[in-house]
């Protein structure tokens, strides 16, 4: 199955084992009560992709409603203003809490991390399963909230609206609370695993950069999410008992809610991007067949990004009523947080330089990431600059910025990683031709949808608004058409990936000539991951041919 | 360190490095220290030091907390990674409090008694309708009479 | 760490390895050695404690911010808390931490009788704490010092606003009072009940877990080769004590 990569003699390719983690045990309970990190990862994958579909449908609805200022489709109003508020809130809450925060760490991370470490499982397998059921419980609670009338506060639950509005706010925040604990326990598990379950010979600076990224993410998950937890509890109590912390009518401080909320939610966006960057750090060296440029710089930048992310949250509150002093301080610190990201971007590009580049689908997504993150990251700096933020805040500019980083970067990396590890997880290769089609549509559709929104925002279109001036209609329409192309691209991607599952298993152990330990075992891996405990013998990302002694 | 390939007796095999740490004597002294500190902090509260009361109370609490963490929770003799994790929790909590208080204390600058008058500034050309002059500080302009 | 290849599939099964140490029933298969397992469990517990610090810490931050917002009301509301009860609870918890650490030590030394004794004493101290708390709470209930909109105490020097619904407040504004009405007292007691309540909930959970550990200790499950659960529960219990060490001065000693 030569993918055209110039490789060393493919060592370690042996007959596919009859039993692997997918078929070794069968039946509902063998999955529902599994302690195997790979099965748990697959269950998460199905869950988060379903959530992505749900959130995506809401997104399409939002865009469809905004196609014309009259909100009509085929002569009938698609959504009323109140319904619109609920739909965009659900889009945000589902995408943030059910999809993007768990997605890479809990699905790909769970599957790949122990394999990359040469371990048999994560540190606490039962906690891992418990994390999954917490996610599922939170997801069910969120769906219940949807059924009971849904929430219209925006995913940020700003007070005092969220403390006084009708609707199942308490149920929705309780759902997010439960999801938060799922995230905490996943992070806890990963930190312990990386510290203690590395293969013999694998020191900290032998770790694949994917591990460094997931580790940095886990630090944020453990330290930031509890504050979200207490924030939501305080919100629920304010609603139910009027404790007087956030509602100004009873003496509370609404800006304090925002401090509490963003103390978690800013680091949360690094929970979203760091795993994406972690994947890119794997894709680029493998598909350039060249060792990563600046390994330590990327490793240190991952951890420093995680730590610095905790001291910039006020940049979400520049015009919220925060003091001028805090505003200036947070703005200055926000410039600081851009530096580690910049380091990574340059290092990835320098890795590609003079590499033996193979433009397989995962690499196409990685390159897409580089362009989209450049735009997303840079526009973040525009928003972090006080003078420009005063004009751009709460406009579509912000919406475009965060979609470029969350969707254009993280989801792009997620899809790239999904393709990269698809052969390992399923034992099948997908159709490369269709992969390129999907990636092309993704790029066209995404940029059509969201590049437009930068212009919408800078021209003054506010975010979360149902009504808009007629002059914005062409741009809105263009963006909506882009969303259809985006949806089509994702649909095609899902179709060919699922279609590949109907083939017999055809994937070799190491289709991409990767150097990390997961490629040393079969595709798909056996239940216990490795026949024999792997011992690390080479530096990470060493693509020189291995000379096999005769 | 443990060697899985060697047959070893179970009790000595695990945790042999922990036998010499702690001990009832150390724990008892820690408890006595904690009780004395509690008495001190209660006594200090009956005097009025103004703002100092809070500082003293939190300072003594931190010493007590350190005793619990170092001796009862064993961090004194434990591997450094556990201490780093513990410190990280308190450190980021400190960051949270610090920035919130920074914001809150600076916010009172906008009480009416704290505001100073904003000078009237010229606006960019073309932003005002022809013939009309817009004032950035109407109150000051009104007070200043027909100067503008 | 061993650098030789270890067969992952069969490690730990006595039948497959002559000369290996006997397989400890608590040894989980993805760990190479019991020591690795113990160290990992400790790291996991400390990570969990860090999350608890941040969870409670959020409440401390909220309390601090509200205290800065309503300094007069908070100081006055403090006077309704009984200092000797708080001090007694502090002493009780400190002693319970002492008995807990002795229980862990006894487990490490495989002394079953002492384990059971000290675990039992720890549980007893925890129960005494909750009894004192019950008396405190019931007194608050009688006086109307309750959280948020349930606050009904009339003896404050600054009247609270919560009593009147928004529409009537303007009409019923008492001209005699120079100071505006505030809700600082209700907020104080909201925080009092939230923080001591969450802390009390952790005490309850601790009692439950300690009881379970007590039963396991009675069955002789813990010894020098395996005492991880006792150690970890001990760490949790010390955290509960730690939180009270900060709660006590903040609520009972500021006057």
* Cβ within 8 Å, pair C242-B68: yes
Enumerate the H helices of B1-148 as residue ranges.
10-13, 24-45, 52-67, 80-107, 138-143
Å between B80 CA and nearest CA of chain C: 10
Residue-level pLDDT at C8: 42
- Closest residue in C to B102 (Cα) is C65
Tens digits of residue pLDDT in C6-64: 334 434 343 444 444 567 888 998 999 999 999 999 999 999 999 999 999 999 999 99
SS (H, E, C) A68-99: CCCCEECCEECCCHHHHHHHHHHHHHHHHHHH
Greater pLDDT, C8 or B88: B88
On the question of pLDDT at B109 being above 60, the answer is no
B&C contacts, CB < 8 Å: 166
Å between C12 CA and nearest CA of chain B: 10
Query: Residue A76, exposed/middle/buried by CB under 10 A (0-12, 13-18, 19+)?
Result: exposed
- Closest residue in C to A121 (Cα) is C30
d(CA A312, CA A267): 9
CA-based nearest residue to A184, from A117, A143, A241, A230: A230
Is residue A358 within 8 A of residue A284, CB to CB? The reply is no
d(CA C236, CA C153): 37
- Closest residue in B to A330 (Cα) is B99
Angstrom distances, CA of residue C60 to CA of A223, B97, C196: 16, 9, 11
Residue-level pLDDT at C160: 61
Å between B117 CA and nearest CA of chain C: 26
Q: Is residue A264 part of a domain?
A: yes
Tell me the pLDDT of chain B averaged across its residues. 78
Q: Which of A137-151, A461-475, B12-26, C167-181 has the lowest mean pLDDT?
A: C167-181
Which residue of C46, C90, C101 is in closest CB contact with B82? C46
Å between C163 CA and nearest CA of chain B: 28
Tens digits of residue pLDDT in A252-277: 899 999 999 999 999 999 999 999 99
* Cβ within 8 Å, pair A237-C44: no
Query: Which residues in chain A touch residue C61, judged by CB atoms under 8 angstroms apart?
Result: 260
Q: Which C positions 38-97 lie with beta carbon below 8 A of chain A?
A: 39-40, 43-44, 47-48, 50-52, 54-59, 61-62, 65-66, 69-70
Q: Which chains touch B (3 or more CB pairs under 8 A)?
A: A, C
Angstrom distances, CA of residue B107 to CA of B101, C63, C106: 10, 18, 55
Q: Exposed e or buried b for every residue in C160-198, given b needs 16+ CB within 10 A?
A: bbbeeeeeeeeeeeeeeeeeebbbbbbbbbbbbbbbbeb
Tens digits of residue pLDDT in A506-543: 999 999 999 999 999 999 999 999 999 998 888 888 88
Q: Which chains touch C (3 or more CB pairs under 8 A)?
A: A, B
Q: Which B positions 46-105 lie with beta carbon below 8 A of chain C?
A: 53-54, 57-58, 60-61, 64-65, 68-69, 71-73, 78-79, 81-82, 85-86, 88-90, 92-93, 96-97, 100-101, 104-105
Is residue A146 within 8 A of residue A54, CB to CB? The reply is no
d(CA C30, CA B45): 53
Interface contact C191, partner A, CB < 8 A: yes
CA-based nearest residue to A257, from A159, A165, A394, A163: A159
d(CA C192, CA C194): 6
Cβ-based neighbour number of residue A329 at 10 Å: 18
Å between A98 CA and nearest CA of chain B: 26
* Cβ within 8 Å, pair A250-C65: no
Cβ-based neighbour number of residue C209 at 10 Å: 15
Which residue of A259, A310, A324 is in closest CB contact with B92? A310
Q: Is residue A33 part of a domain?
A: no
Is residue A395 within 8 A of residue A460, CB to CB? The reply is yes
Cβ-based neighbour number of residue A166 at 10 Å: 8
Is residue A241 within 8 A of residue C147, CB to CB? The reply is yes
Angstrom distances, CA of residue A286 to CA of A42, A282, C191: 24, 6, 54
* Cβ within 8 Å, pair B100-A256: yes
Q: Is residue A26 part of a domain?
A: no
Residue-level pLDDT at B48: 86
- For residue A160, cis peptide bond before it (omega within 30 degrees of 0): yes
Q: What is the mean pLDDT of residues C105-132?
A: 96
| Angle of CA points B134, B135, B136, to nearest 5° | 120
pLDDT band at B12 (very low <50, low <70, confident <90, very high): very low
Q: What is the mean pLDDT of residues A5-32?
A: 76
- Closest residue in A to C169 (Cα) is A249
Residue-level pLDDT at C172: 42
Is residue A157 within 8 A of residue A95, CB to CB? The reply is no
Is residue A539 within 8 A of residue A2, CB to CB? The reply is no
Query: Which residues in chain A touch residue B89, judged by CB atoms under 8 angstroms apart?
Result: 223
Torsion of CA A157, A163, A167, A171, to 10 degrees: 70
**Which tokens sit at B102?**
């920074």
Å between A176 CA and nearest CA of chain B: 21
d(CA A297, CA A283): 17
Q: Which domain holds residue A424?
A: 38-547
Q: Which chains touch A (3 or more CB pairs under 8 A)?
A: B, C
Strands (E), A228-308: none
Query: Which residues in chain B touch residue C98, judged by CB atoms under 8 angstroms apart?
Result: 27-28, 30-31, 72
* Cβ within 8 Å, pair A326-B99: yes
Residue-level pLDDT at B5: 40
Interface contact C27, partner A, CB < 8 A: no
Is residue A251 within 8 A of residue C187, CB to CB? The reply is yes
| Adjacent-strand bridge partners of A62 | none
Å between B79 CA and nearest CA of chain C: 9
Tell me the pLDDT of chain A averaged across its residues. 94
Q: Within 13 Å of residue B112, how many CA atoms lie on the same side as its CB?
A: 0
**What is the tally of helices (H) and strands (E) in chain A?**
18, 2
d(CA C115, CA C218): 8
Query: Which residues in chain B touch residue A231, judged by CB atoms under 8 angstroms apart?
Result: none
Residue-level pLDDT at B113: 60
Q: What is the mean pLDDT of residues C215-227?
A: 94
pLDDT band at A154 (very low <50, low <70, confident <90, very high): very high
pTM: 0.90
Which residue of A223, A256, A329 is in closest CB contact with B92? A223
pLDDT band at B21 (very low <50, low <70, confident <90, very high): confident
Q: What is the mean pLDDT of residues A71-94?
A: 94
Å between C242 CA and nearest CA of chain A: 18
Is residue A423 within 8 A of residue A507, CB to CB? The reply is yes
Residue-level pLDDT at C14: 39
d(CA A53, CA A59): 10
Which residue of C226, C245, C255 is in closest CB contact with B68? C245
d(CA A8, CA A493): 31
Sign (positive or negative) of CA dihedral C24, C30, C33, C39: negative
Q: Which of A389-398, B102-111, C133-142 has the lowest mean pLDDT?
A: B102-111
Å between A110 CA and nearest CA of chain B: 22
In chain B, the N- to C-terminal Cα span, in Å, equals 86
Backbone angles phi, psi at A73, to 5 degrees: -130, 125
**Which tokens sit at A238?**
């304010």
Residue-level pLDDT at A4: 39
d(CA A366, CA A364): 5
- Closest residue in B to A309 (Cα) is B92
Query: Which residues in chain C touch residue B10, judged by CB atoms under 8 angstroms apart?
Result: 21-22, 24, 225
Percent of chain A with pLDDT over 90: 90
* Cβ within 8 Å, pair A324-B106: yes
Plot region of A442 (φ>0 → left; ψ -120 to 50 → alpha; else → beta):
alpha
Query: Which residues in chain C touch residue A234, judged by CB atoms under 8 angstroms apart?
Result: 58-59, 62, 194
Which of C52, C98, C250 to mutate to probe the B interface, most B CBs <10 Å?
Answer: C98
* Cβ within 8 Å, pair A230-C55: yes
Query: Which residues in chain B touch residue C58, judged by CB atoms under 8 angstroms apart?
Result: 96
Q: Within 13 Å of residue C52, how many CA atoms lie on the same side as its CB?
A: 22
Sign (positive or negative) of CA dihedral A269, A274, A275, A281: positive
Residue-level pLDDT at A277: 98
On the question of pLDDT at B110 being above 70, the answer is no
Element (H, E) at C70: none
Percent of chain C with pLDDT over 90: 69
Q: How many structural domains compose chain A?
A: 1
What letter does residue C248 receive in the DSSP assignment?
A: H
* Cβ within 8 Å, pair C44-A192: yes
Query: Which residues in chain B touch residue A219, judged by CB atoms under 8 angstroms apart?
Result: 88
Q: What is the mean pLDDT of residues A328-338?
A: 95
Q: Is residue A8 part of a domain?
A: no
d(CA A215, CA A192): 10
Q: Which long-range contacts does A327-331 make (Cβ < 8 Å, 24+ apart)?
A: A327/A386, A328/A386, A329/B99, A329/B102, A330/B99, A331/A384, A331/A385, A331/A386, A331/A389
d(CA A23, CA A197): 26
Torsion of CA A243, A249, A253, A255, to 10 degrees: 130
Q: Is residue A199 part of a domain?
A: yes
Residue-level pLDDT at A10: 43
What letter does residue A298 receive in the DSSP assignment?
A: H
* Cβ within 8 Å, pair A250-C183: yes
* Cβ within 8 Å, pair C186-A197: no
**What is the set of domains in chain C, with CATH numbers?**
32-162+182-253 (1.20.120.80)
CA-based nearest residue to B14, from C27, A348, A116: C27
Tens digits of residue pLDDT in A471-511: 999 999 999 999 999 999 999 999 999 999 999 999 999 99
Residue-level pLDDT at B122: 62
Which residue of C3, C6, C36 is in closest CB contact with A201? C3
CATH, residue A392: 1.20.210.10
Which residue of B6, B15, B54 is in closest CB contact with C38? B15
Query: Which residues in chain A touch residue C13, judged by CB atoms under 8 angstroms apart?
Result: none
Residue-level pLDDT at B118: 66
d(CA A509, CA A524): 8
**Which tokens sit at A432?**
């490369």
**Which tokens sit at A189?**
């598990």
* Cβ within 8 Å, pair A325-B103: yes
């Amino acid at each position: 199955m030569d993918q055209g990569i110039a490789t060393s003699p493919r060592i370690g390719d042996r007959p596919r084992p009859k039993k692997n983690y997918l078929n070794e045990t069968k039946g509902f309970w063998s999955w529902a009560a599994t302690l195997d990190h790979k099965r748990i990862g697959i269950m998460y994958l199905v869950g988060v992709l379903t959530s992505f579909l749900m959130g995506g449908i809401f997104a399409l609805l939002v865009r469809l409603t905004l196609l014309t200022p009259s909100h009509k489709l085929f002569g009938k109003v698609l959504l009323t203003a109140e319904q619109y508020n609920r739909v965009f809130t659900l889009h945000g809450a589902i995408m943030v809490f059910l999809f993007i925060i768990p997605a890479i760490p809990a699905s790909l991370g769970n599957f790949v991390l122990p394999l990359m470490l040469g371990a048999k499982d994560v540190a606490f397998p039962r906690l891992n399963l418990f994390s999954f059921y917490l996610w599922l419980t939170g997801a069910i609670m969120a769906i219940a909230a949807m059924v009971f009338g849904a929430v219209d506060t925006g995913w940020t639950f700003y007070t005092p609206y969220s403390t006084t509005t009708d609707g199942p706010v308490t149920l929705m925040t309780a759902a997010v609370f439960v999801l938060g604990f799922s995230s905490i326990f996943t992070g806890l598990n990963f930190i312990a695993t990386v510290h203690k379950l590395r293969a013999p010979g694998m020191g900290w600076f032998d770790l694949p950069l994917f591990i460094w990224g997931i580790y940095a993410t886990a630090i944020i998950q453990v330290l930031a999410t509890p504050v979200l937890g207490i924030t939501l509890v305080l919100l629920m109590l304010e609603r139910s008992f009027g404790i007087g912390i956030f509602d100004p009518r009873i003496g509370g401080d609404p800006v304090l809610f925002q401090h509490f909320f963003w103390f978690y939610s800013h680091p949360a966006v690094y929970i979203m991007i760091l795993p994406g960057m972690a994947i890119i750090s794997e894709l680029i060296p493998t598909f350039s067949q060249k060792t990563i440029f600046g390994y330590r710089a990327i490793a240190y930048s991952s951890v420093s990004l995680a730590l610095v992310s905790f001291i910039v949250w006020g940049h979400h509150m520049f015009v919220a009523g925060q003091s001028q002093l805090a505003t200036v301080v947070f703005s200055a610190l926000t410039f600081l947080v851009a530096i580690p990201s910049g380091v990574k971007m340059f290092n990835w590009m320098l890795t590609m330089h003079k590499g033996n580049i193979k433009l397989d689908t995962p690499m196409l997504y990685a390159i897409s990431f580089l362009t989209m993150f450049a735009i997303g990251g840079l526009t973040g700096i525009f928003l972090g600059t006080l003078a420009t933020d005063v004009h751009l805040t709460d406009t579509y500019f912000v919406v475009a910025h965060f979609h470029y980083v969350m969707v254009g970067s993280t989801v792009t990396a997620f899809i790239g990683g999904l393709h990269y590890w698809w052969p390992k997880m399923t034992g099948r290769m997908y159709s490369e031709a269709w992969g390129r089609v999907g990636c092309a549509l993704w790029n066209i559709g995404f940029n059509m949808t969201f590049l437009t929104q930068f212009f919408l925002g800078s021209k003054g279109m506010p975010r979360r608004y149902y009504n808009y001036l007629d002059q914005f209609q062409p741009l809105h329409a263009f963006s909506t058409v882009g969303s259809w192309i985006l949806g089509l691209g994702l649909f095609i991607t899902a179709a060919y990936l699922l279609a590949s599952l109907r083939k017999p298993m055809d994937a070799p152990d190491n289709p991409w000539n990767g150097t990390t330990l997961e490629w040393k075992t079969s595709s798909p891996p056996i239940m216990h991951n490795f026949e024999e405990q792997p011992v690390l013998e080479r530096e990470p990302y060493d693509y020189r041919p291995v000379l096999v002694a005769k | 360190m443990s060697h899985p390939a060697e047959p070893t007796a179970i009790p000595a095999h695990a945790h042999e490095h922990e036998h010499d740490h702690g001990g009832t004597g150390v724990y008892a002294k820690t408890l006595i220290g904690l009780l004395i500190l509690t008495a001190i902090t209660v006594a200090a509260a009956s005097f009025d030091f103004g703002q100092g009361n809070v500082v003293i109370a939190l300072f003594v609490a931190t010493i007590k907390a350190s005793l619990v963490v170092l001796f009862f929770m064993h961090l004194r003799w434990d591997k450094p990674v556990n201490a780093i994790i513990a410190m990280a929790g308190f450190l980021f909590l400190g960051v949270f409090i610090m920035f919130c208080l920074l914001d809150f204390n600076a916010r009172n600058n906008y009480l009416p008694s704290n505001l100073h008058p904003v000078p009237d500034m010229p606006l960019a050309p073309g932003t005002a309708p022809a013939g009309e002059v817009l004032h950035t500080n109407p109150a000051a302009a009104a007070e200043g009479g027909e100067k503008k | 760490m061993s650098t030789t290849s270890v067969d992952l599939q069969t490690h730990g099964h006595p039948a497959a390895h002559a000369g290996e140490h006997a397989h400890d029933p608590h040894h989980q298969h993805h760990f190479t050695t019991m020591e690795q397992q113990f160290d990992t469990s400790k790291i996991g517990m400390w990570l969990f404690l860090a999350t608890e610090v941040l969870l409670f810490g959020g409440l401390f931050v909220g309390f601090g911010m509200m205290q800065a917002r309503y300094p007069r009301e908070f100081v006055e509301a403090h006077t309704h808390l009984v200092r000797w009860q708080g001090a007694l609870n502090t002493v009780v918890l400190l002693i319970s931490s002492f008995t807990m650490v002795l229980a862990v030590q006894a487990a490490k030394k495989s002394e079953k009788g002492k384990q059971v004794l000290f675990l039992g004493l720890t549980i007893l101290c925890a129960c005494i704490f909750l009894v004192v708390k019950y008396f405190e709470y019931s007194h608050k209930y009688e006086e109307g010092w309750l959280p948020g909109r349930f606050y009904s105490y009339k003896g404050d020097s600054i009247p609270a606003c919560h009593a009147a619904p928004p529409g009537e407040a303007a009409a019923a504004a008492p001209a005699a009072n120079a100071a505006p009405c505030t809700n600082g007292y209700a907020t104080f007691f909201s925080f009092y009940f939230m923080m001591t309540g969450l802390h009390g909930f952790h005490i309850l959970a601790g009692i439950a877990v300690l009881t379970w550990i007590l039963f396991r200790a009675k069955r002789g499950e813990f010894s020098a080769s395996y005492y991880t659960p006792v150690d970890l529960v001990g760490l949790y219990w010390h955290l509960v004590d730690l939180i009270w060490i900060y709660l006590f001065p903040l609520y009972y000693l500021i006057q």
